[in-house]
Structure 1
Amino acid sequence: MWKNFLLVALGGVCGSMLRYAVTLLTEFWAHPSWTGTLFVNAVGSFLMGAVLAVFSKGDVNLLLAVGFCGSFTTYSTFSAQTMAMLRNGQFLLAAAYMALTLLVCLLFIWCGMALGDRAN
């Protein structure tokens, strides 16, 4: 049981550190902060799809899907950024961001699962 917690924790540390690095890079390139969130949610969805297709259970699933992808993707940040857009009266931008996030992440998880299915 402790091994499972350690696998999730290790994946979580790596995912959250990489998420922070993406935030720093996004700020360095002066893009809006939501672009980094969209990027990690899309890439995280792809990785989650691939991992779930190949490793639906077991240690690798705990390490990568639960730990890494769980901490790398940022739905709570997405929600906060969308709310900030709405509160600032940026209704069209908020709607576009919500739609783009949903569509891109669904597409990427499908691609990840398709790739994982082929590798399996």
Structure 2
Amino acid sequence: MKKIFYIALFAAIGGGSREALNLLVSWPQHFWITVIINVTGAFLLSLITTLLPARLPVSDAVITGLSVGLIGSFTTFSTFTLETLTLWQQGQTSLVLTYVGTSLGLGLLAGLAGNLLSQHWLPKEAA
């Protein structure tokens, strides 16, 4: 029951943060904010799941709330998919390839960076 509480609590924060960024950033091609959100989420998810359990006395319920609730509601594969399909239907093939390649490439690199950074901050015996 604690996990559900933390997921719901952090999901409100993550979803609210995502919408706040969408409102603050008004780029002509709005899909780039999705790239930034998803890449940031990949980095933070790696940090949260690797570093927090080893460095702080945080319960599994809180870690799940942060990863599933906060990061899960902040990032979104469905938006990425819809924006990709919209660009494809508009005939913007090169932009589709750029968007997909950038999202996946930077997302993987951000996840790796988060993992490596958390490994650096872990105590020697935990790493």
TM-score (structure 1 length as normaliser): 0.91
Distance 1:31 1:104 in 2: 21
Shift of 1:76: 0.6
Q: Give structure 1 regions of 4+ aligned residues with deviation exceeding 6 angstroms.
A: none
Q: Per-residue CA shift, 1:61-119, capped at 9, x if unaligned?
A: 11211110000002110100000000000000001100000000000010111111122
| Structure 2 gap ranges (5+) | 54-58, 123-127
Identical residues among aligned pairs (%): 30
Partners of 2:66 and 2:102 in 1: CA distance: 25
Q: Which moved more, 1:50-59 or 1:73-82?
A: 50-59
- Aligned-residue RMSD, C-alpha: 1.3
Cα drift, residue 22 of structure 1: 0.9
Structure in which a larger fraction of residues adopt helix: 1
Contact 2:4 2:65 in 1 (8 A): no
- 1:81 equivalent in structure 2: 83
Count of residue pairs brought into register by the alignment: 117
Is 2:8 the partner of 1:9?
Answer: yes
Segment of structure 1 superposing worse, 42-51 or 110-119: 110-119
2:93 equivalent in structure 1: 91
Q: Which string of whole-angstrom CA distances, capped at 9 and with x for unpartnered residues, describes residues 4-33 of structure 1?
A: 100011111100000001111122xx3411
Query: Secondary structure of the residue that 2:111 maps to in structure 1?
Result: helix
Tell me the residue number matched to 1:35. Answer: 32
Letter matched to residue 113 of structure 1: N
The whole-number CA distance in structure 2 between the counterparts of 1:118 and 1:9 is 31
Larger radius of gyration: 2
* TM-score, reference length from structure 2: 0.86
